[in-house]
Structure 1
Amino acid sequence: MQKKRKNKKQVEHLDVQQLDLIPGVDYEEINKKRARHRLRQAKSAENCTSNRHIFQVSAVLISCAALACCTLLYTMVTQKHFWSGNLAINSMIRNSVQARTINGVRGDILDRSNQVLARQTIAYTLAANFDTRTPEEKAAEERLIEAQRQNALYKAELNGRTEQTEAALAAADAQNTGSYVEDPQAFAAAIKSVLGDAVNEETLVRLIERGQMQGKSQIELGTGTKRISREDKEKLESMKIPGLSFIETTKRDYPITPLSSNLIGFAAYDDTAQNIIGKLGLEKSMELYLGSEDGQEQYRATNTNQELPGSREIITEAVNGDHVKLTLDSSLQQTVEEQMRFTMEDSKASAAWTLVMEVETGKILAWASYPTYDQNSHLDIPSYIDKVSEYPLEPGSIIKPLYYAMAIDAGVYPYNQTYRAGEFAYTEDPLTGKITRVASQYETTIPPILDALGKDHGVLTFEDGLALSSNIALCELLTNHLNKETVNRYLEEFDLFEQTGIPFVNEQVGIKNTTSATDYLSSGFGQASSMTILELCKAYTAIFNDGIMMQPYIVDSIIDSSTEETIQKNSPQAVGTPVSADTAHQVVDLMRHVLDPGMTGDRFAIEGIDMALKTGTGEIYNEDTHTYDKENYTSSIIAAAPANDPKVLVCYGMQGPNYLNYSADPFKEIMKSALQTVNVNTGTDRSVTEQHQEWVSSPMPSLTSHSLNYAQERLAGTKVNTIIIGDGDTVVAQFPDPSTTINSNDNVMLLTNGSTRQMPDMIGWTRKDITAFWNLTGISISADGYGRVHWQSIPATTPIQEDTVIEVKLE
């Protein structure tokens, strides 16, 4: 057995040929074992080779890592590269991380047609630059510049471009000339010549001289030189004032101003908040929505402030403000502004106001308070009190129809009865408070009440009493038909002597003064008790809207500026029914009678327009002297049209000495414009009737990016005046915006992609049209006067450019 195993062991180490000589051997098994043996030998050899390679690679990697660490350590210690010996830090790259503000954008304020009334724009702050180089540094820089010049000229000569290079060098020299302030007096005088009274020339000189003495390289120039307009910047740039530079910033811009300045208010940069903040009006009360928040980012930059690619990192995102859309109609508002300016000048008024409201919805279409101010400069604000919502006054006779409504609705109105006008003498029972009218010759301790200007109209019906604005008619109603309890109940129903609740608008409240007999009677014709125009107009919506009183509102909606989604929307809201629809209709008929010939409102009648109207004259109480002014009075009108189905309410008034013969034209122009705004064709504009007799209203289509032929086809049948700007074939901008209501004879402007432009015929244009052309083209227009354009400085069809300045006169 042992021998057999020995022989087998021997066989395993023999060649195949030798196996034939050995008996009892299994040749097949021996061959398999041999194959397995050789395979094990091959694998063992392969593993040895792999291990050797791994060891070699590891050794190389360890050596490289050690070398890198040594190099890094050497560079950190010496701040030089190990191999080249050069400085490791690029001297042109700033060592510190730079911080930069990301400006948030304040939300826009828009009118009801999305025309911008307030927006954030780019502005410029002036700075003065001084040469702070030492003589040695200046000489060294001059030598370097000269060497660079010679090198450039040498290369240019080799390349045959000497002429072009010399021209480029000359241009560079011209640009660098005047880099520093040379003459502080001349510098200040030049700025004063453009910015005017906004700056003080002596203060500018002192600032510049102080900056030079302190060795500063640049200073800002203070009051009046911050956030100037692009137009002023371009004027100053053209003067090439040595040392003047501009720092780009932002400001609040009002494209059309003044435009409801006290209501909208203004926003300005606040040094404490480091942002544009609302200071007055809606800009202030809606800061939560309009306001923006600046963000912050970091970056690396070169010494020349060039940002290194990929180095920017946002630290805090900027937050933009929301847009606020108002119910105001900017075209109507501009008409109101023009008529307010005329009123102030023509009547020498100390104050004036207008409120236009849709009676069925409560939407405010126009709101003006005068004296007013320029919202872009807001340097001189003559009054911080809005005459519509913050100025309680004794309204005078325009309140009388409300008392007639009380009597009619209470069922005590004396139909077809008469009374004796002229003078109302009366007594008051001290115990019961009962008021009794007595004969004129009866001696009383209470002064009698007279009709306006002491007129005696004799015997009148109560209808004529209202039309002639008789104070005695109200005294009769309050004494013999109404009583204090009933009157006070209706005053509450009309929400008088309390805030209207109009959102986002500051309000003051008038005072109800009806305790004594005199005050009770006087309140009936608008004296003794006070209220705001807004309070009064809210009450009148019930008269003109079938007895339903509407909540006034001026903010239509709030819109997310990023997504354009509406985040808050105001809608018409009925807030009471002080009187029945039948009562309201009867009062409207009584107010129609005021416009009849010989009545107090006949000069305010407009041909072709059926109106309900009441005039009023009120005394002004002086809180300082505790007496009524004997020279200045409140003159006012409240009216609605069309009388058979009132759409708009207009309240127009003023305070001043001209209370008897003031012009009726401003009121008429405002009423006509208001009716056109709500698509009621008045047929009173001669230029309109000469063009298109038929009144057509339609939504403005979206025409931008379409062909001019397509745009003209879409406008066919709208009876508008289409004004093509440029000689292109594609519309790139339009006015008005899509979905805006357009009416017959409106001016529709289409800006095309053509580079050649001609002066349009602007005769008959309104300020709204002028502003639209300005916004579309960027061409400045200087407008003087009120009304419509009757003269233009550049004839129609004359070629014009972006730098053309157009002058127009309106009347």
Structure 2
Amino acid sequence: MKRRSNRMLLFVMVLFMVVSTITAANVYVVAIGGIHLRSNTDIIDYSENVHIQNEILLARRGDILDRNGIIIAEDVDAYHVYAVLDGRFDETYVSDVEATSAALADYLNAPVEYIRSRLSVSGAYQTYFGIYGRNLSKSQKSELEALGLDGIKFQKTVARNYPFGTFASHLIGFAQAEDENGNGNVLIHGKMGLELGLENRLVGVNGKKQSTVDRYGYVLPGSKVVQVDPVDGYDVTLTLDKGIQEALEAAMFDTRDAFETNKIWGSVMEVDSGKILAWSQWPGFDPNVLNIDDYMNIGSQYAYEPGSTMKTFVYASAIDTGVYNGNTIFDSSPFRMGIKNGQPIRVNKNQSAIAVINNANNKNWGLISLDYGYIYSSNVGIAEILTKVVDTEVYRDYLDDFGFFRPVDTDSIPEVTGSINYQWPVEKLTAGYGQGVTVTMLQMLQAYSAVFSDGTMVKPYVVESISDPKTGNPVYTAETTVVGHPIQEDTAQQLQQLMYQVVYDQKGTGRFYQIPEVNSIAKTGTAQIAVNGSYEADYNLFSVALAIPAENPKIMIYYAFEAEYARNVHSTTSPLQQLMRKITLAYGFTKPTTDPDDNDKPKVFMTSVPFLTNHSLGYADAKCTIAALNCMTIGNGKSVVAQYPLTDKQVLSDQRVLLLTSQENILMPDMTGWSRRDVLAFFALTHVPVTINGEGNVSSQSVAVNTALDASVMVEITLK
């Protein structure tokens, strides 16, 4: 038994020695010769064809969409074309350089000499074709593949695509793909506009994948794969409306053709919210091809002298401070300016003048009212107000209240702030009609939001929301930002009545902006452009600030252009009329109508206040009846000595018209439900002191109805 155990032990030892010897020999042969003895495999060849593969997992840049979810900017698959030159490593390679050069040059629109030089690089395995072969679309790739060129291959990448081409291009901007390390780590980065300003929201983070693969790129079984997933960028939804934006772009092409303009810019905005529905300029560019002549966003980065659209803010300051009487008559002939106590004054022809202010085209309407000074856009009327009605420093303060000369700060849009020359007396007058003062369209949108509303000024904005593409949940939702209340509601209403007459008076400067579909209000502007320090008579800036519908403004348009044109462009308005029609259709605006099924419902419409001052009460009553006005007599006189609203104003037929007949026997009316505007008008006419508290309409009054009123009675009115 012992002998048998020894033989078994000896056998095991011998077997172990044989196996060890064979293993050692195999290791030796593999180490020295690179051959695996049992399989006869060339280990060197095998190991050289097994390697670690690092793959970049491309992140998606966020989409940019309009308010209705229509894509404005997106990532798309793109392809770089390259050629394999060495047949030792790939069975398909470029074997016919001349034929391939000719075919590629023709398809890529590249010089054939350049393509030939790239295909003739000595010792290269493969070659690319620079800008000519980059970012081909999927359809272009298919077309090139159909040519059947040997050795022509494609590297898949990503590119930014703008489906509508020239579409708010200076606002949207553009983004480009960049290979950050030259190893395929491609990311699309914003270079201009919102693409740049919202870069940290839109850009994604690439992922990576590391694996062990064989010579054919297959992952080795059992090997470890390490992967970090990419993080996509956020989607951004804008306030832009595709249809309105396209209508604005179309208007600019029509304006260009009509006036041979140098530049055009404009915007459409919701009055109450500040949402920008359209924003454009001409010339624009197609971000897909980057045919950019000027990188400046005119709407926010171009400070210009606006001309007569600034007159609105002179009238606003005078009305809001309670010193304005639209019936005041002034001489619209040239305003000869002198100086008294450092302030500008009007001097007569026999006195020395240091400056003369003329109306546009040297017009002279003779004696007209201040109201008509606005309707006709009189520069002389502005000089009259700033020398006789409202102090120039008060006007200057109102410009600050309206947000001029400081940033609007809209959604990372780059902007300038404008400036004002306001040192010398003449500068304080010219600033009133838009010379010596520069503003941006963005500032004008903000300022006019107060004029077209109830005096509330809102910040324009363009980013509606930002959302996570995986969940669809918003990470940011915009809200309307109220930036001030530069004027009272009554002031805004009175300005809107003036702007209604600008459009509907027979001589109003905006009369050609009328369309039958909806009533509008507007202020036009024409300004000479300074070149080399002097104003050019034949080089002008034309603009208009317009809102619809007139009865309750919801949408405003600001539109401007520069052209070597000396005539009145505000008589050729078809480009803007088409834009107004598009907006009217989109929002369902109509002119005021009555309900035929409700005869008891008061019929409300726009009507004109007749001139009743110095006429008998009988005449006034008849005129009020014809105009369907709600007229109220104050005092016990037999004729009208003053009235509110003033003559020829366009008002709603249900607005209260106050007719003062005397300062005696004035009785306190029942003011329940009256507006602040009507309350102020009553006490301004009667010269009875009053204190008004609250906002809204009258809810209570401290003096009983039919109580006699005079200057000794203090009345307190509460609004709710």
**Structure 2 CA distance for partners of 1:119 and 1:516, relative to 1, 3 Å:** same
Q: CA deviation at 1:464?
A: 1.6
- Look up the equivalent residue of 1:398 and give its one-letter code: T
- Structure 2 SS opposite 1:224: helix
Partner of 1:129: 84
| Residue 492 of structure 2 corresponds to residue 584 of structure 1 | yes
Indicate conservation of the 8 Å contact 1:107/1:292, yes or no: yes
Which residue matches 1:404? 315
Q: Cα deviations across residues 154-194 of structure 1 (Å, max 9, x unaligned)? A: xxxxxxxxxxxxxxxxxxxxxx6xx416244x645544544
Number of the residue aligned with 2:428: 520
Task: Report 1:92-491 matches (<5 A).
Answer: 94-132=49-87, 179-180=93-94, 182-184=96-98, 187-196=100-109, 199-209=110-120, 211=121, 214-241=122-149, 243-272=151-180, 274-308=186-220, 311=223, 313-378=225-290, 380-429=291-340, 432-440=341-349, 442-446=351-355, 448-491=356-399
> Residues 241 and 449 of structure 1: is their aligned pair in 2 closer, same or farther, counting only changes over 3 Å?
farther
Q: Letter of the aligned partner of 1:180 in structure 2?
A: V
- Conserved? CA contact 2:165–2:288, under 8 Å: yes
- Counterparts of 1:68 and 1:669, CA distance in 2: 94
Name the structure 2 match of 1:83.
Answer: 38
Higher helix fraction (1 or 2): 1
Evaluate the alpha carbon distance shift between residue 201 and residue 582 of structure 1 in structure 2; reply closer, same or farther with a 3 A threshold: farther
C-alpha contact (below 8 Å) 2:517/2:584 kept by paired residues: no
Please give the per-residue CA displacement for 1:423-476, whole angstroms capped at 9, x wherever unaligned: 1111023xx322111124644232x11111111122211222111111111111
What corresponds to 1:619 in structure 2? 528
Contact 2:261 2:562 in 1 (8 A): yes
Residue 633 of structure 2 corresponds to none
CA contact (8 A) 1:618 1:633 kept: yes
1-structure distance, mates of 2:205, 2:25: 47
Instruction: Find the counterpart in structure 1 of residue 541 from structure 2.
Output: 634
Percent sequence identity over aligned pairs: 30
Alpha-carbon spacing, 1:183–1:345, altered in 2? closer, same or farther (3 Å): farther
On the 8 A contact 1:92/1:303 being kept in 2, the answer is no
Give the number of the structure whose residues are more often strand, by fraction: 2
- 1:205-260 deviation line (CA, Å, top 9, x unaligned): 43334x2xx12232110123211223433343344445433222110001111111
**Inter-partner Cα distance in structure 1 for 2:322 and 2:478:** 37
Displacement of 1:629: 3.0
Q: What secondary structure does 1:300 align onto? A: strand
Any idea what SS the aligned residue of 1:500 has? coil
Unaligned regions of 5+ residues in structure 1, if any?
1-54, 142-175, 684-811
**Which residue does the alignment assign to 1:762?**
none
1-side partners of 2:37 and 2:119: how far apart?
50
The answer to which of 651-660 and 611-620 deviates more is 651-660
Identify if the C-alpha distance between structure 1 residues 590 and 444 changes in structure 2 by more than 3 Å, giving closer, same or farther: same
Deviation (angstroms), 1:630: 3.5
Contact map agreement 1:676 1:682 (CA 8 A) in 2: no
Paired residue for 2:679? Answer: none
Residue 495 of structure 2 aligns to which amino acid in structure 1? V
TM-score (norm 2): 0.74
> What letter corresponds to residue 534 of structure 1 in structure 2?
L
- 1:671 and 2:626 aligned: no
Shift of residue 661 of structure 1?
Answer: 5.2
Query: SS state of the match for residue 457, structure 1?
Result: coil
2:73 counterpart SS class = strand
Q: State the 1:390 CA deviation.
A: 0.5
Q: Are the structure 2 counterparts of residues 344 and 245 from structure 1 closer, same or farther at C-alpha, using a change threshold of 3 Å? A: farther
Q: 1:60 to 1:104 in 2, by over 3 A?
A: farther
Unpaired segments ≥5 residues, structure 2: 1-8, 593-720
Q: Distance in 2 between matches of 1:75 and 1:675?
A: 89
The match for 2:622 is none
CA distance in 1, matches of 2:150, 2:227: 39
What is the one-letter code of the residue matched to 2:339? Answer: E
Q: For 2:553, which of 639, 643, 646 is the aligned residue?
A: 646
Give a deviation string over 1:299-348, Cα, whole Å, max 9, x none.
23332334446646235432211111111111211121122222223321
- Shift of the 94–677 alpha-carbon distance from structure 1 to 2, 3 Å rule, reads farther
Q: Alpha-carbon deviation of 1:96?
A: 1.6
* Alignment RMSD: 3.1
Q: When the two structures are superposed, what TM-score results if normalisation uses the length of structure 1?
A: 0.66
CA distance in 2, matches of 1:200, 1:523: 57
Cα distance change of structure 1 residues 455 and 246 upon mapping to structure 2, 3 Å threshold = same
Query: How many aligned residue pairs are there?
Result: 577
Decide whether aligned partners of structure 1 residues 237 and 664 sit closer, same or farther in structure 2, where only a CA change above 3 A counts.
farther
Give the structure 1 partner of residue 447 of structure 2.
539
Classify 1:385/1:65 alpha carbon distance in 2 versus 1 (closer, same or farther; 3 Å).
farther
1:75: Cα distance to partner?
A: 7.8
Cα deviation digits, residues 473-500 of structure 1 (max 9, x gap) = 1111111111122112211111111111
Q: Which amino acid aligns with 2:248?
A: V
- Counterpart Cα distance in 1 of 2:253 and 2:148: 39
> How far 1:568 sits from its partner (Å)?
1.3
Secondary structure at the counterpart of residue 515 of structure 1: coil
Once residues 310 and 415 of structure 1 are traced to their aligned partners in structure 2, the CA distance between those partners, rounded to angstroms, is 91
Change (3 A) 1:259 1:495: same
Distance 1:232 1:312, change over 3 A: farther
Local SS of the residue matching 2:503: coil
1:504 corresponds to which letter in structure 2? Answer: S
Checking the alignment, whether the CA contact within 8 Å between 1:194 and 1:235 is kept in structure 2 is no
Deviation for aligned residue 1:611: 0.8
Taking a change above 3 Å as real, the CA distance of residues 462 and 79 of structure 1, as seen in their structure-2 partners, is same
**Could you tell me whether the CA contact under 8 Å between 2:517 and 2:581 is conserved in 1?**
no
CA distance 1:239–1:69, change in 2 (3 Å): closer
- CA shift, 1:533, in A, is 0.6
Work out the CA distance in 1 between the residues paired with 2:21 and 2:431: 101
Instruction: Select between 320-329 and 626-635 the one with higher mean Cα deviation.
Output: 626-635
